Amino acid sequence: MSTKSNIEWTDTTWSPVTGCTKVSDGCKNCYAEREVEARWSKNPKSVFFGRKFTDVQIHLEQLDKPLQWKKPQRIFVCPRADLFHESVPDDVIAHVFATMELCPQHTFQVLTKRPERMLEWVTWADEFLRDSGYPQGFAGRYPHVWLGVSVEDQSTADQRIPLLLKTPAAVRWVSVEPLLGMVDLRASCWKSWTPNRSAHIDWVVAGGESGPNARPIHPDWVRNLRDQCAAAGVPLLFKQWGEWVPMMGCVGGIPVHREKFTYTDGTIMGRAGKKAAGRLLDGVLHDAYPEVNP
């Protein structure tokens, strides 16, 4: 179960686990759940046929799939699930990481809303490796595995990012999508953003919500993240505006349909659809990735 991905920050996906349950406001309009309910649960060829999205399933036939892919690529792990969901057994997580270890030609992108379990599991793996004679531990064994957390507002950033910073990893990243308010990453990473930081964020992805019930994002929320990343020397990838786009300062005469949304400061957002809204911020494409030594 792998497919070329339309997600802007990855090349392909790998789904040894499917299905998830909601944990915070960022899950409200889950794109994966929407797609499952609308199409895949009715398709006999889909692994979601006859299932609810909340039914978490393990796909044993997929666990070793990346071993067959020789061309190096960025691989998003479990795009329609959370690898660290409480319903995923520890031995399945171990098998996933064992497969990733055997595929150093690839870059594996792991994203979770459950950093507590990720911290617990990876810390155990790190200690095991060090006790087994690998002094660099988990980060040294998995330099091609990027561990990240998904946040949507200041509250979830303050809860999840500190746990990510405690997690052994070669690359740590934060996906701020859907962006639902102003997020000060420095408040969550305060000590870690100093020049001599030992644990730090290596990459930030930001984006708005898409779909029929999508909530708009204020342009200043994105600009604020852009400026924070520039000041900290952290690469930023602005994934999408989502369903809504700023009415003022649009590039290329973006068509706006159906409705408008006005913030209290007078900023007007128009519903244009994801494709028309695009991903330019003040006319600039932010498409940076972390530089990682092999």
pTM: 0.92
- Give the pLDDT of residue 177: 96
- Give the pLDDT of residue 257: 59
The confidence band for 3, taking pLDDT boundaries of 50, 70 and 90, is low
Give the other-Cβ count within 10 Å of 216's Cβ: 25
Please state the rounded mean pLDDT for residues 174-185. Answer: 97
Residue 108 lies in a domain: yes
Residue 34 has pLDDT above 50, yes or no: yes
The confidence band for 39, taking pLDDT boundaries of 50, 70 and 90, is confident
Could you give the CA distance from residue 86 to residue 125 in angstroms, rounded to a whole number?
18
Give the other-Cβ count within 10 Å of 125's Cβ: 18
Residue 65 lies in a domain: yes
Residue 240 lies in a domain: yes
The confidence band for 37, taking pLDDT boundaries of 50, 70 and 90, is confident
Residue 121 lies in a domain: yes
Residue 43 has pLDDT above 70, yes or no: yes
Residue 143 lies in a domain: yes
How far out from the chain centre does Cα 212 lie? 21
Residue 293 lies in a domain: no
- Give the pLDDT of residue 194: 44
How far out from the chain centre does Cα 290 lie? 14
Residue 289 lies in a domain: no
Residue 256 has pLDDT above 70, yes or no: no
The answer to whether the CB of 278 falls within 8 A of the CB of 254 is yes
- Give the pLDDT of residue 195: 45
pLDDT, tens only, 75-94: 999 999 999 999 999 999 99
Please state the rounded mean pLDDT for residues 263-267. Answer: 93
- Give the pLDDT of residue 1: 42
Please state the rounded mean pLDDT for residues 140-159. Answer: 96
Could you give the CA distance from residue 220 to residue 281 in angstroms, rounded to a whole number?
10
The confidence band for 40, taking pLDDT boundaries of 50, 70 and 90, is confident
Please state the rounded mean pLDDT for residues 62-66. Answer: 96
For the chain, the average pLDDT equals 90
Residue 256 lies in a domain: no
Residue 73 has pLDDT above 90, yes or no: yes
Residue 251 has pLDDT above 50, yes or no: no
Give me the torsion for CA of 8, 79, 126, 96, rounded to 10°: -120
Range of the domain at 6: 2-244
The answer to whether the CB of 62 falls within 8 A of the CB of 1 is yes
pLDDT, tens only, 189-245: 754 444 445 678 999 999 999 999 999 999 999 999 999 999 999 999 999 999 999
- Give the pLDDT of residue 166: 94
Amino acid type, 149? V
The confidence band for 56, taking pLDDT boundaries of 50, 70 and 90, is very high
Residue 131 has pLDDT above 80, yes or no: yes
The number of domains in the chain is: 1
Please state the rounded mean pLDDT for residues 108-130. Answer: 97
